[in-house]
A and B are shown apart, each in its own frame.
Chain A
Amino acid sequence: QQQVKQSPQSLIVQKGGIPIINCAYENTAFDYFPWYQQFPGKGPALLIAIRPDVSEKKEGRFTISFNKSAKQFSLHIMDSQPGDSATYFCAASMVGGSNYKLTFGKGTLLTVNP
């Protein structure tokens, strides 16, 4: 019930490509869906997040698409650059919940080749 399933495990694209990372969740009580970007040896950095009342959110080259009925959300990176090479984690939580916990997907290692 608490799982967030993330795919693919790894992804290689050419510079300028549009990598897409997908996540699916089971718990309909989740109401906050962030994406974190993590470079080797660094902590995760919040990239972009969405609440279930919207179907899409864009911030710069990063877009989250959200499908509430399918319980799925995805991250698209437009015009990807080698500097975007990192591990991306989707997550889900219940805002204001008494047992707040970020439930993470297993991560996607993205490589953007020059």
Chain B
Amino acid sequence: DTEVTQTPKHLVMGMTNKKSLKCEQHMGHRAMYWYKQKAKKPPELMFVYSYEKLSINESVPSRFSPECPNSSLLNLHLHALQPEDSALYLCASSQERGSTEAFFGQGTRLTVV
């Protein structure tokens, strides 16, 4: 099973809402990532978790709050987002941080209204 599952697939939220994106993998990978992708652009790294600890934060605004409850799950908590935060949010995992193969989920299409 080389699958990274993200829920929900689509999310529309107001600027005052609080919502969470979820990501799950059962490949035994110990590194998990959040990426943001705008239309017609490459993915941009947001956060890296290694062994359930946050190891990289790419200067992401505090309205995005990641959480890694265990080695299989990764959440991204959203609060007070702006319309420009509308994007495809991708979760990925790899065996270790810096290992060769990174597997991406299908993404959550987020629209902030």
A and B from one assembly? yes
Could you list 20 examples of A-B contacts with CB < 8 Å? A32-B100, A41-B106, A43-B4, A43-B6, A43-B90, A43-B105, A43-B106, A43-B107, A44-B104, A45-B104, A46-B104, A49-B100, A95-B100, A97-B98, A98-B98, A100-B48, A102-B102, A104-B42, A106-B42, A109-B40
- Asked if B84 is at the interface of the complex by the 8 Å CB criterion, the answer is no
In the complex, the answer to whether A89 meets B45 with C-beta atoms within 8 Å is: no
Chain B interface residue bracket vs A: 20 to 34
B29 at the interface (CB under 8 A from A): no
Selected contact of B42 from candidates A41, A95, A105, A109, CB within 8 Å: A105
Interface size class of A (residues with CB under 8 A): 20 to 34
* A93 to B4 alpha-carbon distance, docked (Å): 21
Pick the contact of A46: B56, B90, B99, B101 (CB < 8 A).
B101
Given contacts A104-B43, A107-B41, A107-B42, whether A43 and B104 have CB atoms under 8 Å apart is yes
The reply to whether B109 and A93 contact each other, CB–CB distance below 8 Å, is no
A102 touches B45 (CB 8 A): yes
Known contacts A106-B42, A107-B40; can you find 5 more A-B pairs with CB under 8 A?
Answer: A43-B104, A46-B101, A95-B98, A102-B43, A107-B41
Chain A neighbourhood of B105, CB < 8 A:
43
Give the shortest distance, in Å, between B105 (CB) and chain A (any CB): 5
